[in-house]
C-alpha cells in the first residue's frame, strides 16, 4: 500500500518532535545523567501515593515511585505496559493478518489515545483534505459527522439498514469511478469509509460478517481505507462476536478505534487505535503537538488494574457489563412493546446502548422532543441530531437504555405515547 497517497496536506507536512520523550530514552532514564529533558521535578509534586478500592472490596495501589511516574509527562504513544497489554488483547481478539508484516508494509501498530473521540479527530485530520470523498452511513455518530463536515470533505451517504451498510448499494456508488483510475491520487476515489460496526449510535445497527467481507473486498478493489469505530464491541449481545474488519485486514487498510469508555470509565479518557504502522506514526506526530500524550495517571491506574485482573479478569468484567446492557435492552424493548406498539416502530438492537424509534405519523420529532417532552419531564434525542443535514425533518427518536430503571423506561415511554397521540390528532 502506498500510505503517503492517503495523507492530507497537513499530515504530510508533519514531522516528529525531537524534544518529545522517546521509547529508548524513557528506558534509560534511571541509569543515565538526564540533562536533556524539560521534565518538572517529581519530588515537588504534591501527591505521594494512592489506594483505589474496587467494587469487590480489593484495592489497587500506586506506591511512591509509581506515583512520581503517574504524575509525570510520558510518551505520546502511551506507557509501555499499557501498550503491550492492549497489543496482546488485539492479538487475542482479532488476530490481525498484519501482525507479522514489515512496518512499511502496514504492520499492525497500537497507540493509546485520549478516548476514541481524540483518535477519530486525529485520524480524520490525517486523511482529509477539502474536496476528498468519504463513504459513511446515515444516521451516524454526531461526534464523527461534526468532526468531518468542517473539513470540507464530501460525505457520500451509503444506504444502510439494521445490519449496517448495504454492500450492493456501496458497489453501486463506487462503480461510478473507473477502475484504471483507482490507484491515481488526483481522481478523488473515496479515501476512506467510516462506520460503527456494532451497536451503531444512534441506530443500534450491527454489520454482519458477510457484509464486512463484501465491504472489505470493495475496499481492496477501489483502494480505500476502512475506519472501524467500535466502542460497543464489548456490548454485543449475541453469544459469538462478529469478526472485526481488523481481523480480515490482509492489505493493511483498516484503522480500528477502541475505547475503555463504555466498560471501565469515560472520565479516564483512555482508548486505543490500531492500524498500519506508517499511519499510526502520523497520529503519534499529531499527538506530540496537540494533547502531548494521553493522561499518564489514567494509564498507570489502568496498568495497575490490568496487572491485578490479567486479560482473563478484564474479559470476565466486560462479560458482566455486557450482560447488564443486554438486560437493559430487553427491559426497554418490553416497555416499548407495552407503550408504543401502534405508535412507532423499531428493531431490537443486538449491541450497544440505544433504541432507534421511528414515530408513525410524525414527520419531524424535533419540536415534540426538544420542548414538549422536556416540559413533561422526559428527555430523548431527536433523530435529526444524527443526520448530515440536521435542519431537515426527521421522524426518529433515540432512547438510551444505559441508565434508566425499568420504571423510568415505562414512564418515559408512557409520556412519549401521550405526546405522539397529541401530535397526530
Ligand X SMILES: Cc1ncc(COP(=O)(O)O)c(C=O)c1O
| Residues binding ligand X (CB under 6 A) | 115-117, 141, 143, 196, 201, 229, 231, 259, 261, 266, 271
280 closest CA partner among 87, 73, 149, 19: 87
Query: Nearest-CB residue to ligand X?
Result: 115
DSSP one-letter code for 236: B
Of 271 and 276, the one with the shorter C-beta distance to ligand X is 271
Q: How far is the CB of 175 from ligand X (least distance, A)?
A: 29
DSSP one-letter code for 136: E
Of 261 and 411, the one with the shorter C-beta distance to ligand X is 261
Of 231 and 349, the one with the shorter C-beta distance to ligand X is 231
User: Vertex 235, ends 234 and 241: CA angle to 5°?
Assistant: 65
Peptide bond into 238 cis (omega under 30): no
At 384, list the grid cell. 435529526
Q: How far is the CB of 181 from ligand X (least distance, A)?
A: 32
Q: Cα 110 to chain center, whole Å?
A: 14
Count Cβ neighbours within 10 Å for each residue of 312-338 and write b for 16 or more, e otherwise: eebeebbeeebeebbebbebbbebbee
Q: How far is the CB of 143 from ligand X (least distance, A)?
A: 6
Phi/psi for 255 (5° steps) reads -115, 120
| Number of residues that make up the chain | 425
At 251, list the grid cell. 492489505
Which class for 168: exposed (0-12), middle (13-18), buried (19 or more C-beta within 10 A)? exposed
Strands 396-400 and 354-359, by their bridges, are: antiparallel
Of 141 and 325, the one with the shorter C-beta distance to ligand X is 141
Of 162 and 411, the one with the shorter C-beta distance to ligand X is 162
Of 37 and 266, the one with the shorter C-beta distance to ligand X is 266
Count Cβ neighbours within 10 Å for each residue of 219-229 and write b for 16 or more, e otherwise: beebbbbbbbb
DSSP one-letter code for 377: T
Of 17 and 162, the one with the shorter C-beta distance to ligand X is 162
Phi/psi for 232 (5° steps) reads -105, 20
- What element of type H or E holds 9? helix 9-13
Q: How far is the CB of 187 from ligand X (least distance, A)?
A: 30
Q: How far is the CB of 113 from ligand X (least distance, A)?
A: 8
Q: How far is the CB of 265 from ligand X (least distance, A)?
A: 9
122 closest CA partner among 269, 255, 262: 255
Q: How far is the CB of 142 from ligand X (least distance, A)?
A: 9
Q: How far is the CB of 334 from ligand X (least distance, A)?
A: 24
Of 211 and 398, the one with the shorter C-beta distance to ligand X is 398
Of 107 and 295, the one with the shorter C-beta distance to ligand X is 295
- Indicate left, alpha or beta for 95 from its phi (over 0: left) and psi (-120 to 50: alpha): left
Q: How far is the CB of 110 from ligand X (least distance, A)?
A: 15
Q: Are 196 and 230 in contact (CB under 8 A)?
A: yes
Q: How far is the CB of 138 from ligand X (least distance, A)?
A: 14
Query: Residue 423 and residue 425: Cα distance in Å, rounded?
Result: 6
Of 75 and 398, the one with the shorter C-beta distance to ligand X is 398
Count Cβ neighbours within 10 Å for each residue of 106-138 and write b for 16 or more, e otherwise: bbbbbbbbbbbbbbbbbbbbbbbbeebbbbbbe
Strands 225-229 and 50-53, by their bridges, are: unpaired
Query: Residue 25 and residue 284: Cα distance in Å, rounded?
Result: 17
Of 231 and 252, the one with the shorter C-beta distance to ligand X is 231
Q: How far is the CB of 420 from ligand X (least distance, A)?
A: 26
Amino acid at each position: 500500500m502506498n500510505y503517503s497517497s492517503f495523507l492530507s496536506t497537513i499530515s504530510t507536512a508533519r514531522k516528529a518532535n525531537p524534544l518529545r520523550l522517546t521509547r529508548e530514552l524513557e528506558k534509560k532514564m534511571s541509569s543515565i545523567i538526564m540533562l536533556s529533558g524539560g521534565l518538572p521535578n517529581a519530588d515537588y509534586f504534591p501527591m505521594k501515593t494512592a489506594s483505589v478500592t474496587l467494587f469487590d472490596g480489593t484495592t489497587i495501589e500506586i506506591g511512591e515511585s509509581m506515583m512520581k511516574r503517574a504524575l509525570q509527562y510520558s510518551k505520546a504513544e502511551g506507557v509501555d505496559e499499557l501498550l503491550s497489554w492492549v497489543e496482546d488483547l488485539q492479538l487475542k481478539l482479532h488476530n490481525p493478518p498484519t501482525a507479522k508484516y514489515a512496518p512499511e508494509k502496514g504492520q499492525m501498530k497500537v497507540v493509546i489515545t485520549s478516548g476514541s473521540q481524540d483518535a477519530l479527530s486525529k485520524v480524520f485530520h490525517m486523511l482529509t483534505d477539502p474536496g476528498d470523498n468519504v463513504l459513511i452511513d446515515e444516521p451516524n455518530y454526531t461526534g464523527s459527522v461534526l468532526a468531518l463536515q468542517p473539513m470540507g470533505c464530501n460525505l457520500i451517504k451509503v444506504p444502510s439498514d439494521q445490519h449496517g451498510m448495504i454492500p450492493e448499494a456501496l458497489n453501486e456508488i463506487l462503480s461510478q469511478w473507473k477502475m484504471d483510475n483507482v490507484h491515481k491520487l488526483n481522481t478523488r476515489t473515496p479515501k476512506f469509509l467510516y462506520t460503527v460496526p456494532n451497536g451503531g449510535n444512534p441506530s443500534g445497527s450491527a454489520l454482519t460478517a458477510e457484509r464486512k467481507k463484501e465491504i472489505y473486498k470493495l475496499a481492496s478493489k477501489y483502494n480505500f481505507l476502512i475506519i472501524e469505530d467500535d466502542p460497543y464491541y464489548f456490548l454485543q449481545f449475541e453469544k459469538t462476536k462478529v469478526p472485526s474488519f481488523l481481523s480480515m485486514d490482509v492489505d493493511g487498510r483498516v484503522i480500528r478505534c477502541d475505547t475503555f469508555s463504555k466498560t471501565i470509565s469515560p472520565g479516564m479518557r483512555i482508548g486505543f487505535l490500531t492500524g498500519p504502522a506508517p499511519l499510526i506514526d502520523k497520529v503519534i506526530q499529531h499527538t506530540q503537538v496537540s494533547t502531548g500524550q494521553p493522561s499518564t495517571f489514567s494509564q498507570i491506574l489502568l496498568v495497575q488494574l490490568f496487572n491485578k485482573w490479567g486479560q482473563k479478569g478484564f474479559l470476565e468484567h466486560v462479560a458482566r457489563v455486557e450482560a447488564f446492557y443486554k438486560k437493559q435492552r430487553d427491559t426497554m424493548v418490553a416497555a416499548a412493546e407495552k407503550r408504543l406498539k401502534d405508535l412507532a416502530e423499531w428493531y431490537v438492537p443486538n449491541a450497544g446502548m440505544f433504541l432507534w424509534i421511528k414515530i408513525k405519523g410524525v414527520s419531524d420529532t424535533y419540536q415534540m422532543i426538544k420542548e414538549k417532552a422536556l416540559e413533561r419531564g422526559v428527555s430523548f434525542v431527536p433523530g435529526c441530531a444524527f443526520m448530515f443535514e440536521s435542519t431537515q425533518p426527521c421522524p426518529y427518536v433515540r432512547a438510551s437504555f444505559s441508565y434508566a430503571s425499568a420504571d423510568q423506561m415505562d414512564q418515559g415511554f408512557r409520556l412519549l405515547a401521550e405526546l405522539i397521540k397529541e401530535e397526530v390528532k
